[in-house]
Structure 1
Amino acid sequence: MFSIYILTYNEELDIAACIESAMLSDDIIVVDSCSSDRTVEIASRYPIRVVQHPFKSHGQQRTWMLESIPPKYEWVYILEADERMTPELFAECVQASQNPDYIGYYVAERVMFMNHWIRYSTQYPRYQMRLFRHGKVWFTDYGHTEREVCEGVTSFLKETYPHYTSSKGLSRWIEKHNRYSTDEAKETLYQLQQGKVNWRDLFLGKSEVERRRALKDLSLRLPARPLLRFLYMYFILGGCLDGRAGMAWCTLQAFYEYLILLKVWEMQHLPTPNLEAKISPDMEIPNTASTTTKVDAV
């Protein structure tokens, strides 16, 4: 058995289905970023732990969670509200957690959009660190998301998990990626000033994770990024094979890339008090919240 952390923020539409998919484990912990909707109310109906903590960044939230909320079991799995645990993935996780040779495992997502699996234009299989031995994996910030720091040897699972990336509607997707593009713009400036491309990992990386990270760092330095991203996703990766949903997905990703570039230009040429903030991914955001609350379901 292993424990499952579920990260949430205003997930009243997804949280019930997510929890029910994870009920194969008898230790589920919802870590909520102080939602303003009914997420906590719905989650508290289940025999699980529900903890609220103010959100600073994805990396910091995960690290706080791992340091502050002890799991019942040695191995843990990180699940997000718009993702699902499957019986096949759960069974493989149980088996993998018994292997003493590894401290963590990457799991590939299946992006679901417009009721269609976007198999080609999402670089499938695209892996994320999800199952690991507690105390052996930590997270740091990178752009709008995070990167893991592993203290040991890792491997990959064969089973995948569905990710319903627009389950709350296109308006919510656009709103979310508007926020994400600001963080990505800050990360772009930081990488251009202080980062570099790992050419060895780009061509000789041992895993998909290493190659994808190097490609990401390279993409920040390419001209016409929105157009290049669309051409790469739609034609080279084969997004055209994903049908109408693939066309829509590739167009939205190109728009997202363009939005990042516009915000980079804005930060460079139209400075404001908010945009002049330090652009380091380790930026410290003042904590204006009062206290951390914990709600245990009966």
Structure 2
Amino acid sequence: MISIFILTHNEERDIAACIESALISDDVIVVDSFSSDRTVEIAENYPVRTVQHTFESHGKQRTWMLRNVPTKHQWVYLLEADERMTPELFNECVAAAQAGEHVGYYAAERVMFMNRWIRHSTQYPRYQLRLLDKDYVWFDDYGHTEREVCDGSTGFLTATYPHYTCGKGLNRWIEKHNRYSTNEAAETIKQLSDHGVDWRTLFFGRSEVERRRALKDLSLRLPFRPVVRFFYMYIFLGGILDGHAGFTWCMLQAFYEYLITLKVWELQNGYTSDVDLTTPSPQQEPKELARTT
């Protein structure tokens, strides 16, 4: 068996369905960063444990959780409030944990947007580290999101999970990614100065995760990045096959990229940022764009 962590901040709209999908496990823990809505109240109606911890950053929140919250099982699965556990994925996780071949496993998401699976323009399958032995994995900060650090080898699961992105409406999406873009701009400047493009990894990386990270290093150096990103997603990746939802998704990604490029220009030209980059956002929110950049 495995334990399941659910990370939340103001998730009253999604938390019930998320918990209900997770109750296939006998140990579910909601880690809340002091929501101001009914998230905790709703969670307490279910047979789960609820822990609250002040949010510092995405990486620190996850590492604190793994190191300080006791679990019934050594192996844990990390679930976001707008994601769902499935019986197929859970059974595969249990089997992987029992085998103990690796210290962590990546699972692929199925992005659900405007009541449709956005299969093509999201570069499916895109993997996130979800199942892990909590003694051998921790997280560092990376831009507005986090990046895993594994003391051992990792593997990949075949079962996938649905991710219901933009479930809180476009106004919330735009506000959130306006904030994210400031941190991404600072991270972009850092990456451009720290290292170049790893061409070998880009073409011959051992996994999708390695190749995707190398591709991001390349994309940061492309001129007209927002336009390039739209056509890459909509035409090259086949977003056009995802219908109206796919077109909207690709436009939103291009808009987000444009915000980042504008804020890079601001920072490089000495403008004051609208967000204090030394102070992490006080919110723990889903990271739909972090998975597509």
Once the two structures are superposed, residues 40-75 of structure 1 have per-residue CA deviations (whole angstroms, 9 ceiling, x without a partner) of 111111111111111121111111111111211010
- Alpha-carbon separation, structure 1, partners of 2:201 and 2:79: 28
Corresponding residue number in structure 2 for 1:154 = 154
- SS of match in other structure, 1:6: strand
Moved more, 244-253 or 164-173: 164-173
Structure 1 residues 228 and 38: alpha-carbon distance in aligned structure 2, compared to 1, 3 A threshold: same
Counterpart AA for 1:58 = H
Corresponding residue number in structure 2 for 1:43 = 43
Structure 1 residues 162 and 190: alpha-carbon distance in aligned structure 2, compared to 1, 3 A threshold: same
Percent of residue pairs bearing the same amino acid type: 70
Judge conservation of contact 1:165–1:173 (CA < 8 Å) in 2.
Answer: no
Counterpart AA for 1:74 = Q
Judge conservation of contact 1:31–1:51 (CA < 8 Å) in 2.
Answer: yes
- SS of match in other structure, 1:55: coil
1:191 Cα deviation after fit: 0.8
- SS of match in other structure, 2:138: strand
1:87 Cα deviation after fit: 0.9
Q: Do residues 127 (structure 1) and 127 (structure 2) align? A: yes
Judge conservation of contact 1:7–1:31 (CA < 8 Å) in 2.
Answer: yes
Corresponding residue number in structure 2 for 1:248 = 248
- Alpha-carbon separation, structure 2, partners of 1:165 and 1:180: 15
Corresponding residue number in structure 1 for 2:32 = 32
Corresponding residue number in structure 2 for 1:233 = 233
- SS of match in other structure, 1:127: strand
1:170 Cα deviation after fit: 1.4
Judge conservation of contact 1:21–1:84 (CA < 8 Å) in 2.
Answer: yes
Moved more, 231-240 or 43-52: 43-52
Q: Do residues 192 (structure 1) and 192 (structure 2) align? A: yes
Structure 1 residues 285 and 58: alpha-carbon distance in aligned structure 2, compared to 1, 3 A threshold: closer
Corresponding residue number in structure 1 for 2:213 = 213
Corresponding residue number in structure 2 for 1:293 = none
Judge conservation of contact 1:202–1:211 (CA < 8 Å) in 2.
Answer: yes
Once the two structures are superposed, residues 131-160 of structure 1 have per-residue CA deviations (whole angstroms, 9 ceiling, x without a partner) of 011111111111221111111111111100
Judge conservation of contact 1:267–1:276 (CA < 8 Å) in 2.
Answer: no
Corresponding residue number in structure 1 for 2:63 = 63
1:272 Cα deviation after fit: 2.5
Judge conservation of contact 2:2–2:75 (CA < 8 Å) in 1.
Answer: yes
- Alpha-carbon separation, structure 2, partners of 1:236 and 1:21: 35
Instruction: Tell me how many residue pairs correspond in the alignment.
Output: 282
Corresponding residue number in structure 1 for 2:290 = none
1:221 Cα deviation after fit: 1.3
- SS of match in other structure, 1:98: helix
Corresponding residue number in structure 1 for 2:166 = 166
CA RMSD of aligned residues (A): 1.7
Once the two structures are superposed, residues 5-62 of structure 1 have per-residue CA deviations (whole angstroms, 9 ceiling, x without a partner) of 0011100000000000000011111111111111111111111111111112111111
Corresponding residue number in structure 1 for 2:74 = 74
Structure 1 residues 28 and 274: alpha-carbon distance in aligned structure 2, compared to 1, 3 A threshold: same
1:226 Cα deviation after fit: 0.2
Unaligned stretches of 5+ in structure 2?
Answer: 283-293
1:90 Cα deviation after fit: 0.7
Judge conservation of contact 1:267–1:275 (CA < 8 Å) in 2.
Answer: no
Judge conservation of contact 2:267–2:273 (CA < 8 Å) in 1.
Answer: no
- SS of match in other structure, 2:54: coil
- Alpha-carbon separation, structure 2, partners of 1:39 and 1:159: 28
- Alpha-carbon separation, structure 1, partners of 2:47 and 2:106: 28
Corresponding residue number in structure 1 for 2:11 = 11
Corresponding residue number in structure 2 for 1:281 = none
Counterpart AA for 2:243 = G
Corresponding residue number in structure 1 for 2:204 = 204
- SS of match in other structure, 1:97: helix
Structure 1 residues 129 and 286: alpha-carbon distance in aligned structure 2, compared to 1, 3 A threshold: closer
Judge conservation of contact 2:112–2:162 (CA < 8 Å) in 1.
Answer: yes
- Alpha-carbon separation, structure 2, partners of 1:73 and 1:136: 14
Corresponding residue number in structure 2 for 1:291 = none
Corresponding residue number in structure 1 for 2:288 = none
- SS of match in other structure, 1:108: strand
Structure 1 residues 92 and 168: alpha-carbon distance in aligned structure 2, compared to 1, 3 A threshold: same
Structure 1 residues 94 and 277: alpha-carbon distance in aligned structure 2, compared to 1, 3 A threshold: closer
Moved more, 34-43 or 116-125: 34-43
1:274 Cα deviation after fit: 6.3
Alignment of structure 1 residues 88-103 onto 2, 5 Å: 88-103=88-103
- SS of match in other structure, 2:98: coil
1:276 Cα deviation after fit: 7.4
